[in-house]
Structure 1
């Protein structure tokens, strides 16, 4: 397959829509490889200013007065390329454009008294940050201790950190010389009463240093994702009334508090609306690094030769000829296509809806894409030998981003457990009911069979979870104890749900391909991940009577045959993932990777 052929274009359409193609000329003007080359030899303290210089550089070239959140056809392609060029910049960029500006648009809608703040953020004169998580409460945003006490005499709010457990951690706001504006979640107190959790606009530092009453203490960050982490606390910081992102709440001149939401608990849950921006952004960025990790590793495996023992010391051959490498790397391609399809499904022109089912699908896909990203970046690194461990080849950078998002926006495990909880309650959920054809009538390479098998696992695990929860409640157990012994089952059910969502996407997307050859190749490459997961659970499927012993026994051989069928298409499949190799800058992405690694000159062999 060559770029421009109908098969190549059809495969590429699985991971990118028309808006990506339309944005490419603009991206290519912004992301010149020399300006966005991977930083080499810089200490962390030198990396931090570079991150914000690059953020300002991109802002200056966007030349738009419209928030990027309202330009989704530009925002998501932009985020993809930022993730590939500089994962640390990706983190800073989405916090600035999506969560900081997003909070003002979300909770300050139809107000004009924050236009100056939005203008400063849009220009890059100040960089946004989100300060939700507190040091003493891990990833829980439900137990925020930071207080914003309303002063009726001045109509200001006094922002205070009551103790070390309430210190905000880990916002990346420690870089000196960079003005910062934060969105801070705090418990609103009016006339001595807790009114729930709200967001506040808080100037954190200017070019000279922290603002009065703001204490910023630099902290070490993870070497695989260098960011200027800090702990932040507040000592009586006074905020004007307009900096309260009050949503539907108000405080009258006489101090009377009113809110359309009936109680503080309901109000506190509203602050979590911001997390959906994190889920969308994470899905796009993680899918991008998954695609890059798979494509770089597959290209290198075609150029890396070995005289290994199993080759019988014959002529050197590329490592991609080895079946174990194919299973690993073609499996990485499979995961990359699935991640791309999943990200495309949640990053369309319109935001994902707010029904319980739509939100659950969004965060479930974020969780499964993160798992795919961690798996593929690790597999690509391992399959590339010592060169995979070389930082220039980007596997470690991309793995770092995946590790970071395993925790950001709620951890992957917590997201799965939340999904299981809502499904067990039946919130906007009906278990799948697809019928599985009889063994003699089914082909394990058929997407309809993958849908039926994964749907059956989801349905039966859901049925078992609901039954066990009901029995535990009938026995009089407290709700914590009802769930505490069933977290493993709940997580298994949510993971089964995630796999079924991927199977649904594959069938829908590949059915829509007009090119028959592309349809066949696409289904084959997607089958490696889906059948691999089914094979890993073959004991369960056997016990449930959903697979025959012959089918379970045949799965490893079937996966090998699919690899054999895919081998001629592997480079085309890698390139159809639309990875801008010059921007990624990995030397091993090129056939003459040894020359790409070194600047030394050598005599002409002639």
Structure 2
């Protein structure tokens, strides 16, 4: 049997040394019990834990060394990800302080803001919040209605009505003293779009600042260690210097200036720099799924139920195919997402550490982050529910930790971007790339390119069908076959969506109706693209593995991920002639065979996540 540590070495990837260090620190730290705590006690406990965390190197990882940081952008995300093994309220609270609040100052501010605020952000001397979301415009950030009007060397921040209040703001209800507030910047009679401002919300005694109204969002379904609050601003005056001015500023003469002329492009550039939070949520969601699966597989290996015929020996839960079917495909997808997350963090680190910005790399990063976040958080929600059911009534007990994991992760699907909106962003990016292939061509060249693409597609489809059409047992585990199916589905769905939107747009139809009528197609295009990226990431990790025994085991786990995904969407593959009815049946049988083959390794595979034992005690 393979030692779990050998697999851990592969799972830990580029930041394996940091992960090892963080695990050791988590193992040595006292586990804070949250059972029975009321909201206020839970908040106080989490804030005390945050202070302890501030004394470690965790908060400094992602910040500029010039101000006391370590300049390790990827490492900072990995650190948040490992916090996902414990109380998720602490992970979110830390994410608000050092990821969102501190990250906004770092990415949107300039040297004057970095010098003034970043040391206090890292030390927790300046607890802060990230005040973007409004009650009436949660996902539509571009049309937020909070205003910051420039007058005589100051900005005056106002909440025009109750729909424009800042809502669900972490750190606002209890601990925050400053907020990065997103508001429409107005000079004279013109709005220059959404910008970010540093606004004091409490004085040193914890009292609201003049013109600032603060309310508590109250108890939530989970994450009650996070003090979510609401903010209103009534004529709050802040110095001109409190504008985070990397992408736009107001001169002493009262003139707006920006290196990016287009308001829309400036807005999306600003938002794109804040992608770190979304990536951290994806990683923490997968950590929670890993924890739930580890707890549940451990229980399934120790609990017995019903006897074999003519035997006094009861059967382990993990020996039942139905139980394997519940847990092992979910475990395979969790592995796949681990490798996809590792690729994503590397992309983030390389993009944000580059000496010069690369717009194309940034756009690809944003698209992948949106899609991985959506898939990872939906996967966590479904996996934790499955784990709870697999543990029976015992999984409903609070001390199993599964109810808390369910409650705490449920909101992950709608914060840092609603998942449905995020998949639409992925699809829109794909359509933009598709359109750009034709942007600068003459009509004749466009026609020639279309003809070449059609011919190429026909030839490619014939080649793909040659792979797709073979269905002996060996082919079902062929990585080339898996990739051909995933790639073909992605290309087919995207090309069909582009044709559908182009045909509708050429009519007199309303643009909203055109897009809305194709929304199911849009979401499928986004999901098919991300599914392919996840498979590619898993396959690449397996190919790079130097340990032959570990590689052979991971090959099987990757097979299970691919085939269970094909099984799940076999209706599409059947409808579009990519597999036959008999082939679909063989896929189901092969998933069963893989579950049986991986059953002896189930404990090894979950132990390889390396979750400190104290977070698994039950």
The correspondence for 2:159, drawn from 154, 158, 161, is 161
How far apart are 1:402 and its partner, in Å? 3.1
Corresponding residue number in structure 2 for 1:129: 129
Structure 2: which 5+ runs fail to align?
A: 64-68, 353-357, 438-452
The CA distance in 1 between the partners of 2:89 and 2:15, in whole Å, is 25
The CA distance in 1 between the partners of 2:102 and 2:510, in whole Å, is 42
How far apart are 1:73 and its partner, in Å? 5.4
The correspondence for 1:323, drawn from 318, 321, 324, is 321
Q: Would you say 1:185 and 2:182 are equivalent positions?
A: yes
The CA distance in 2 between the partners of 1:496 and 1:65, in whole Å, is 37
The correspondence for 1:346, drawn from 322, 332, 344, is 344
Provide the TM-score with structure 1 as the length reference: 0.89
Contact 2:58 2:76 in 1 (8 A): no
How far apart are 1:314 and its partner, in Å? 4.7
CA deviation profile, 1:490-525 (whole Å, cap 9, x unmatched): 111211111111111122111111233322211222
How far apart are 1:20 and its partner, in Å? 2.9
CA deviation profile, 1:92-148 (whole Å, cap 9, x unmatched): 111111111111111223x13542322221211122211101111232212111111
The CA distance in 2 between the partners of 1:358 and 1:341, in whole Å, is 16
Closer/same/farther in 2, CA of residues 429 and 303 from structure 1, 3 Å limit:
farther
Contact 1:357 1:428 in 2 (8 A): no
CA deviation profile, 1:1-39 (whole Å, cap 9, x unmatched): 353xxxx445324421252334423552366352x3331
Corresponding residue number in structure 1 for 2:72: 71
- Deviates most, 237-246 or 353-362: 353-362
Corresponding residue number in structure 1 for 2:420: 413
The CA distance in 2 between the partners of 1:268 and 1:64, in whole Å, is 27
SS of equivalent residue, structure 1 residue 454: helix
How large is the Cα RMSD of the aligned pairs? Answer: 2.5
The correspondence for 2:532, drawn from 500, 516, 520, is 500
Corresponding residue number in structure 1 for 2:91: 90
How far apart are 1:174 and its partner, in Å? 4.6
Contact 1:195 1:263 in 2 (8 A): no
The CA distance in 2 between the partners of 1:351 and 1:69, in whole Å, is 17
SS of equivalent residue, structure 1 residue 70: coil
Structure 1: which 5+ runs fail to align?
A: 588-606
The CA distance in 2 between the partners of 1:203 and 1:428, in whole Å, is 45
The CA distance in 2 between the partners of 1:199 and 1:379, in whole Å, is 41
- Deviates most, 523-532 or 349-358: 349-358
Q: Would you say 1:307 and 2:306 are equivalent positions?
A: yes
**Greater helix share, 1 or 2?**
2
Corresponding residue number in structure 2 for 1:476: 508
Corresponding residue number in structure 1 for 2:45: 50
Closer/same/farther in 2, CA of residues 33 and 314 from structure 1, 3 Å limit:
farther
- Deviates most, 287-296 or 269-278: 269-278
Matches within 5 A, 1:88-237: 88-109=89-110, 111-152=111-152, 155-176=153-174, 178-206=175-203, 207-226=205-224, 227-237=226-236
- Deviates most, 25-34 or 551-560: 25-34
- Deviates most, 22-31 or 362-371: 22-31
Contact 1:185 1:198 in 2 (8 A): yes
Contact 2:539 2:558 in 1 (8 A): no
The CA distance in 1 between the partners of 2:263 and 2:74, in whole Å, is 37
CA deviation profile, 1:134-187 (whole Å, cap 9, x unmatched): 1112322121111111112xx1111111111110001023544x3422111011
Q: Would you say 1:15 and 2:41 are equivalent positions?
A: no
Aligned residues: 576
Closer/same/farther in 2, CA of residues 194 and 344 from structure 1, 3 Å limit:
same
SS of equivalent residue, structure 1 residue 245: coil
CA deviation profile, 1:439-477 (whole Å, cap 9, x unmatched): 157611122211111111111111211111111112221
SS of equivalent residue, structure 1 residue 137: coil
How far apart are 1:274 and its partner, in Å? 4.5
